[in-house]
Structure 1
Amino acid sequence: MSEPTSRAEKRAATAQRILDAARAEFGERGLEATTIRGIARRANVDPSLVMQHYGSKAALFAAAIELGESPPEEVEAHLHDVLDVRLGALPPETRALVRSMLTAPEAEAVVSGFLNERVANLSSAMGGEDAELRAALIVSSILGLTVARHFLKLDAFAGASDADIARVARPWVTTGVTPPPDSGSGEPDP
């Protein structure tokens, strides 16, 4: 690949280098332990460039987890990564948003917007019949697990490790990735 020559090409190459570094850092360290400085160091750029290109760690994380059209095994691997992040301790800003989403219109709008983006991203990656509805069910399931584990502290989760929950949840949360076979009638099977 040739070196970028124009200012726009150099800017795009830097943004891509930052994004690649962020994906690697988030994958290795998780959301909470990843730092802007660590991403910048890996991308070989000044930390201020990370912020100029992406604005915040949260915005960079959202960009890093975007899926393009992908085969089912890549979508499933992505969902497993998301599940692993949500099983771990939540960052303070996520805790505040989730805790406030049902009582504060501002928090509701932020969470709804983020989840709608996740649904759109996931449905475009999955494709097939009812992709948007299947994606919404998957995203809602992960949100429900996040709330039940971190806020409601359901008894069943109290003695379970992240690894145990992930082992059981992984096949369950990816059930809708592939569209179900069409029964032809349009009616649910009895």
Structure 2
Amino acid sequence: MESAPSRDERRAATAARILEAAQAEFGDRGVEGATIRGIARRAGVDPSLVLQHYGSKKGLFEVAVRPEPDLTAADVPRHLGEVLEIRMRELPPATRALLRSMLTSPDAADAMREYLQERADDLARTSARADADLRAAMLVSSILGLTIARHFLDLPALSDLDPAAIEAIAEPWYAALLPPAG
């Protein structure tokens, strides 16, 4: 016979349900349009539980849009390829929330800036070029622009790209960061 979940397990499950609901709510409505009540409704909990777990809407937003942990420099090219492929197919709720909110919320703009800077710094470390910082910033900014064009502007040419086409087009971007041959 299985034992009932412990209090800590139930609490963790509730926090995860709230976080998932918050990512969806922020993704649909942005940080300004989302409410604690709306998040609670999506999670199937009382609004007081949202505040109990995350303290405030701002605190919940910061957790909901937090990017994945730091990558090593060796992981960055693979990661960028995966990110580009994923961004052309779908947007995780946390990313949708961050993108939708970054132009109206200073907190979201800060989170996006920090995320892009971390990725650009990691990518630049993989290159010996003198202008690696600029090249890396342009690469991560390009992925951001593609993401916006695909998911928020519905640019038709980006709607149905296959992974092979994405890889063929993205390969020269990565090559531009490598040291010159010779």
TM-score by length of 1: 0.53
Conserved 8 A contact 1:119-1:132: yes
CA RMSD of aligned residues (A): 2.7
Q: Give the 3 Å change call, closer, same or farther, for CA 164–153 of structure 1 in structure 2.
A: farther
* Matching residue of 1:62: 69
**SS of residue paired to 1:128:** coil
Report the Cα offset of residue 145 of structure 1. 0.8
Conserved 8 A contact 2:88-2:161: no
TM-score by length of 2: 0.55
* Matching residue of 1:174: 174
Question: What are the ranges of 5 or more consecutive residues in structure 2 without an aligned counterpart?
Answer: 1-62
Question: What are the ranges of 5 or more consecutive residues in structure 1 without an aligned counterpart?
Answer: 1-55, 183-190
* Matching residue of 1:88: 89
Amino acid at match of 1:67: T
Which fold has the larger relative contact order, with Cα–Cα distance below 8 Å and residues 6 or more apart in sequence?
2
Report the Cα offset of residue 142 of structure 1. 0.7
Q: Residues 12-51 of structure 1: CA distance to partner in whole angstroms, max 9, x if unpaired?
A: xxxxxxxxxxxxxxxxxxxxxxxxxxxxxxxxxxxxxxxx
Report the Cα offset of residue 128 of structure 1. 2.5
Q: Residues 75-115 of structure 1: CA distance to partner in whole angstroms, max 9, x if unpaired?
A: 54343222223223111121011011111111101101111
Segment drifting more, 83-92 vs 168-177: 168-177
- Percentage identity across aligned positions? 40
Number of equivalenced pairs = 120
Distance in 2, matches of 1:62 and 1:152, equals: 29
Q: Give the 3 Å change call, closer, same or farther, for CA 99–162 of structure 1 in structure 2.
A: farther
